[in-house]
Amino acid sequence: MVNITLAIIKPDAMAARHQGKILDRILQGGFNVRGSRIIRMSKQQAEGFYEVHRGKPFFEELTAFMSSGPTMPLVLEKDNAVADFRDLIGVTNPADAAEGTIRKDFAASLGENAVHGSDSDENAEKEVAFFFARADILGVF
Ligand code: IDP
Ligand code: MG
C-alpha cells in the first residue's frame, strides 16, 4: 500500500465549488485517481473516521463540520503517495501553509481546511478501507 493515500475534498471546498480545481492540482501533481465517491457522512461516520481525535477540544467541531455537507473521498496512487500528498496540500493551518499548496489557496481556516490526506501508510490503508470496497478501487488490488 505504500503508493496509495486517502484524500477527502472537505465540505467547505465542495460548497465553494473548488472540487474541480483541487482535482486538477491532484492530477497535475502526478497522482492517479483510483477511486472516487461523493458522500455526505453521518455524524457517526465522521466520528468513526476521526476516532483518533476523540477527546480533543476540536473533535465536536471537526465531526460536525465533516458531516455538514457533501465530501469527495479519493483513492490516490503515486510513488511516495502519503508524503507527496501531504506536501501538495500543505500544513493543517492554511495561514501557515506554503505558497502553491491546496490549503494555502483554497482553505479558509484551521478547522475548515479544504482537504484531508492520510498521515502514514498504515493509516492510508485503514482510511481507504473505511470508504471503499476493494472492487471499487481501480487496479490497486
Ligand atoms: P491534518 O488534517 O493536517 O492531518 P490533524 O491534526 O490530523 O490535521 O487534524 C485533523 C483535522 O482536524 C484538521 O485537518 C482540521 O480540519 C481539524 N483541526 C485540527 N486542529 C484543529 C484545531 O485546533 N481547531 C479546529 N480544527 C482543528
Ligand atoms: Mg491528520
Torsion angle of the four alpha carbons 78, 122, 41, 136, in this order, in degrees rounded to the nearest 10? 50
Q: Is residue 140 part of a domain?
A: no
Q: Is residue 72 part of a domain?
A: yes
Ligand 1 atom nearest residue 50's Cα: 10
* Per-residue pLDDT reduced to its tens digit, 102-123: 999 999 999 999 999 999 999 9
Q: Is residue 141 part of a domain?
A: no
Q: Choosing from 13, 116, 118, 131, which is the catalytic residue?
A: 116
Is residue 116 flagged as an active site residue?
yes
**What residues contact residue 38 under an 8 Å CB cut-off, 6+ apart?**
70, 71, 72
Tell me which residue range forms the domain holding 37. Answer: 2-133
pLDDT recorded at residue 139: 83
Q: Is residue 22 part of a domain?
A: yes
Q: What is the DSSP string of 40-71?
A: ---HHHHHHHTGGGTTSTTHHHHHHHHTSS-B
Written as nine digits, the cell of 99 is 505558497
Written as nine digits, the cell of 120 is 502514514
Radius of gyration of the chain (CA): 14
Q: Is residue 71 part of a domain?
A: yes
33: CATH: 3.30.70.141
Q: Is residue 82 part of a domain?
A: yes
**pTM, full prediction:** 0.97
Which residue reads 501533481 in cell numbers? 29
Closest alpha carbon to 40 in 19, 76, 17, 11 = 11
Q: Is residue 29 part of a domain?
A: yes
Q: Is residue 12 part of a domain?
A: yes
How many distinct structural domains can be found in the chain? 1
Closest alpha carbon to 59 in 73, 75, 46 = 46
Q: Is the CB of 61 under 6 A from ligand 1?
A: yes
* Per-residue pLDDT reduced to its tens digit, 20-45: 999 999 999 999 999 999 999 999 99
